[in-house]
Structures are given as structure tokens and as C-alpha cells.
Structure 1
Amino acid sequence: MNASRIALVTGANQGLGRALAEGLAARMSPDDLVLLTGRSHQRVTDAAREVAQLPGTRSRVEGRVLDVTDTDAITRLADDLRTRHGGVDVVISNAVTRLLPEESQAERADECIDVSNTATHAILRAFGPILRPGGRLLVVASSLGTLGHLDPRLHHLFDGATLDQVEYAVESWRSAIHHKTAEEAGWPRWLNVPSKVAQVAAVRAVAAERRERDLATGTLVASVCPGMVDTATSRPWFSDFSQAQSPSEAARVILDLVFAEQVDPALYGELVRFGAALPWHGGAPMTEQDRLIKP
């Protein structure tokens, strides 16, 4: 087995994903490899070259085209990493759909669900089995991913659910949007809440099955909330960016989790924000006004 470490970041062309790739490349070793992925061949190639040329970069950096909505492509990449390198050490699932406040949430639902949820399920299924002992599998979510942000009628769909059950709940939500029955069933119009709750629930489902052996080998599976980050994706949604972090600042906290010498059992499988676990049952359903000001 190759002794070098392999790290992978999805949605890494720009913003937080790019900062995560830069931080990994700066903190890993010359024999290690950071895979910077995105949908556009040109943007991936340019970003990987630029990160590789940064003064602080220590590891090798390569670009890989990966459209996370293509679940077969996710599986193929995982198979390739297993064949070539014997597994993977760091996976950060970060891809996100850029939505604007004035756009119809329902019209963008399929794209949002495919990128944030279907892709998350595929990444957990494909990369979980090839994560080497001591590895890190992190899904970038949001503080909106706690169960309390959903209508109580929907809690049973995600609380204590298996990954298959989470996937079924997501597809039921998608179907309700298409049939215009989502609101009467309790689903909020704002896609970001169910999407993030489902991401966190999916991570919790996988972590529940792996917990004992992962903690024994210092392996971490968790979702992470970076807090408010000043990016092109988030900027249209907030009226005040005075407290926002730069992508590099937000990445640093996540990378501290990646490079921690020991795994804190209290963080395993949880939604982690600034080094602490957010209560899964916390939060409250949001109003339309809340969505424009809450990180």
C-alpha cells in the first residue's frame, strides 16, 4: 500500500472548497496528494495549478473533474483511488448549488437536492469503505442542519434513520415539491433547511454503524458547519457581512479538525461548529424573514 496520504475536496474550484484544498496542501507532506475536484475541466486545471504554485504548498496537488451529481462518477473515482492508492485519508464533501434569493426554490429543487443530498449519499457510500484508519470523512453542512429547524411532523423521517431511510425521505420531499404538496406536509419552502438536515442525518446514519471501530482507530466521520463565510454563494443571502469569515479563516477551523492528533468521541458523527458539537434536536423552524439574516 502506498504510504502517502490522499486527500480529496469536492467543489474546490473557488470559495471555501478552494481554501480547504489550499490548507490541506500547505499542511500535508511532500509525498501526500491533494485532489482538487470540480465540474469544469478548465477551472479545475487552473485552480490545481494555482494551488500547486502557492508559496506555502508542500504536498502534490492534482485536479480531477468530478460532477457530484453523477453518482457513477463518484463510485468510479473511489474505485480508482482504492486501486491506485489503497484507499483515501481525507474526504471533504463541500460541493454546493448557488441559489439566489429571487429565484424560485421549487424550480431549483432538483439541482439543489442532487448536489447537496444525492451526492452526499453517494460520497458516504463510495468513500466510507475505502477510508483508511485514522482518516477523516467530513461533510460541509450548516447550523441549519439540526433537526429542530424542521416542522416536528417531519422529525421521524430523520431521527435515528439509516442512510437508506434518509435517502427515501429526501426523495419523498423531492416528490412532494413536484406534486406541490410539500408545504401542506410541513416542508419549508426554503430548500436549505431540509437539505442540510438530511445531510447531517446521512452522516449520523453512517457514523452510527462505524462508531466503535472508527474510534478505536482514530477515524472521524462528521458533518461540519463553517459559520458565516464571505463567498459568492452566500453573499446574496445576508444583509450584514461584518462578522463573516474569509474562506481561509473558515477553512482553518475545519482543517484543525482534520489534523487533530486524537478524535474527540463527543464530536464523532455530530454536526461540529468551531470545535463543538451542535445539539441534534436543537433549533426552531425558521420564518421567511429569518432566512435572509441567519448563517
Structure 2
Amino acid sequence: ETPESRAKRQRTEHYQIKHIRWFDGRGIRNSPILTQNLNGPCPLLALVNALVLSTPGSADTALIETLRSREQVSLGLLLDAVFDELMSGRRGGAAQELPDVSELYTFLVTLHTGMNVNPSFVKPPASSAIHPALRIQPGGFDDTREMRLYRTFNIPLIHGWLPPSESRAYAAFDRIAKTHDDSQLVQFQEEELDAKLRSVGLNQEEQRMFEDVHAIKEFLSRWPTQLTDFGLQTMINSLKPGEIAILFRNDHFSTLYKEPRSGKLLTLVTDAGYSSHDEIIWESLVDINGQNSELFSGDF
């Protein structure tokens, strides 16, 4: 497949649209959302739904109008509508300040298949794509080119795969592996350190490195769903009532909503299997393994 034929095929792919009624903090309103296609809950789907739900109910945008009048939408038409939304200035002026807006459009095209992100386990740097209004910062990401382009959307992208700041794991991450990619690399040193420990012993610096690697491995194995109890509580505390964000978890992206009356975190249900179920809109995010999660209608 040539790049040209692949681009043509991608632009003719379609997303199904579900029309929902939901409570936005002021009242019940109607909104069109995308449901997932064969690629699963990709960052483009989560982004489009976050843009739609975070738009005031009184506003009519090209993106909402494109979705409202259809039962399905092609990827090409969807990308054009999203691009128009970004360049309109309603999401801030970051997109207009880019030196090459064609780079942003190319980035949008790639979002329907995925996006490379590198979660940070420690306090994110000031330049990370955390929404500035968040008082207590949830998990951030390494400041890559993709993240810089993503910031033009002005939608918080967060994760809850976090150790408590006073924990042994946090200290280990802070010293030797601030991000997920770093944590994978340092584990290659364990075998070498173990062999040296058994033969001639380790000096003080090597011993601390050995202990830090163990603490990191223990953390990663204990929280395999990429969410911790501490991280979940941090997200609850950081998001404002009625705020829309995008959650990265289990290598997928989902649209997140803090219900303004109960204060619960809810993820938007976009699985195609529920597309014909008008009464199923949200799933509660109340624990790390989903044992106590519940499905809700738009008015809860």
C-alpha cells in the first residue's frame, strides 16, 4: 500500500454517530458523539467527543453541525470539521500561532490510529499538557512534539498511574525513571547489578540503584491497569465539577466527565455494542479494577 492510497483509504473510513441526551450541569441537552470503529477508542474519537461535550449548549459549531445532521461521518469530513473548530479561535489561539498549520492537520490524520504518549510518574513539568486550571495536578506526559500539538486543543489530557509523593516508588521514579519509557530502560540494568551483587558486591550508589529498580518493578506489577488508588483520588480532586477531560489508561484514550452534582468521575461509553442503547451513556470510574462501576443514562 502506497502512502497515497493509505491516505485515501483513511479519509474514506467512517465513524458511527450516536445522539445522546445528557445533563451538563445546567440542564438536559442533546449532543452527537462518535462511537468506536474497528480501531477501538482512539485519541481522535476521545478528542472529538471531548470537544463536542465541552462546547456550550448554546453554541453551534461546524463540528457539532457536521455530526448532528448525520448517522455516520467519514474520517475526511470529520478531520475538516475538527480543523475548522481549532482554527476558529474558540479553543484559544494556540493553533493560530503554529508556524505550519499543515503539520497540525497531518497530526490530526494520525490520531485516528493512535498517539505515542509517555506518562510521567512524578510531578509533571510546567510545560506538560496539563490544563492550567487544574489545582492539583494529575498525571502528565513527557513533552514531545505530539504533546505540543495536542495542547492546541485546550482539553486536559491526564492519567492516574501515580504513586503517592511520600512513597518509596515515587522516590525511585524521581531519581532514576521519571517517565514510563525510562522505567522500561532501567530494568535492563537489574540483571547486571544482581550479578555484581552476588560476585563482588555493590557500592552505595549501585545498591540504591538496585533498590530503586526493584521498587519501580513492584509498582508496575501492582498497578497493571495503569491506574492507582492515589491517582484516582488525585483526578477526582483536580477536575472541577462539570469539567471534560481525556483519560489515558490501558493504552487507550477515553472522554472523562466530572458529574457536577455527585462529584463522580464518569467515562463516556463509546463501544459500538451500546450504540443502539439510548439509556447507556456513562460508566462510573470509582475503583481501579471496575468491580464497582455502574452504567448510567444521560440524566443519571
Is this a same-fold pair by TM over 0.5? no
Greater helix proportion: 1
Shorter-normalised TM range: 0.3 to 0.5
**TM-score (norm: length of structure 1):** 0.33
Q: TM-score w.r.t. structure 2 length?
A: 0.32
- Structure with larger Rg: 2
